[in-house]
Structures are given as C-alpha cells and as structure tokens.
Amino acid sequence: MTTWVPESCTLPTTEQPLRVAEFDTLFAERLEHLTRKDRLRLELVLTGGRGVDETVRDLAAREGGCCSFFVLTVSSRPEHVVLSVEVDSAHETVLDALHERAASAAGRDLS
C-alpha cells in the first residue's frame, strides 16, 4: 500500500501514525462511498450520527493545518457528512494513495 503522508507534511513524524490511525478509524467505521470526481478531487461520503460532523471538521482542520496542499471541505447532508479532498497536480499521487487507503480501511466495496 502506498503511503499518503508526503515529505511536505509538517506534522511531526512521531504524530503521523496517530493521524493516519484517526483517518483509518473514520474510514473503517463511517465510509459509505467514495468517488473520484476528477483526478485532483476525491469525495468521501460518511455515515452521519451524533458528533460525526464535528469529528470530521476537526480532523479536516488539523490535517489542513499541517498539509497545506490539501483543500479539505466538509459539508453535511441528511444522515451523511461529505469530506471533499482536492490537491494540485503536484500532489496527485498523494490523493491516489489516500483514495487507496480509504478504500482499504473501509474493507468493503464502495463503488
């Protein structure tokens, strides 16, 4: 599996596995569907519930703070939270790896 934590991430190395684990848990527990809107944009549809919107917004804000190449947008729909992730062309491989990791962590077909 490809890593999606690029060298340009400013999160301290010792904290990176913890952040990856947060995303893995979110994907495993909540990811319903993911769509590659185009080569530079990934949309992750998560099952909503108590506190999910706040959790996703907090995680997105922290990730955007250390990986400024991500444009992370969180929106709420009835019963779902949508996390959109966009990158520039220089970071397309990071988005590829995030897509792969999300699908793997969910452990089921999301198409």
pLDDT digits (tens, 9 = 90+) for 45-64: 999 999 999 999 999 998 88
CA triplet 16, 102, 34: central angle to 5 degrees? 140
CATH number of 33-106: 3.30.1360
Q: Give the list of residues 6+ apart from residue 70 with CB closer than 8 angstroms, or none.
A: 63, 64, 85, 86, 87, 91
Say what the pLDDT of residue 49 is: 92
pLDDT of residue 69: 86
Residues of the chain with pLDDT under 50: 1-2
Determine the Cα–Cα distance for residues 11 and 15; give it in Å rounded to an integer.
7
pTM of the model: 0.85
Among 81, 16, 8, 2, residue whose Cα is nearest residue 49: 81
Q: What is the pLDDT of residue 2?
A: 44
- The reported pLDDT for the residue numbered 10 is 55
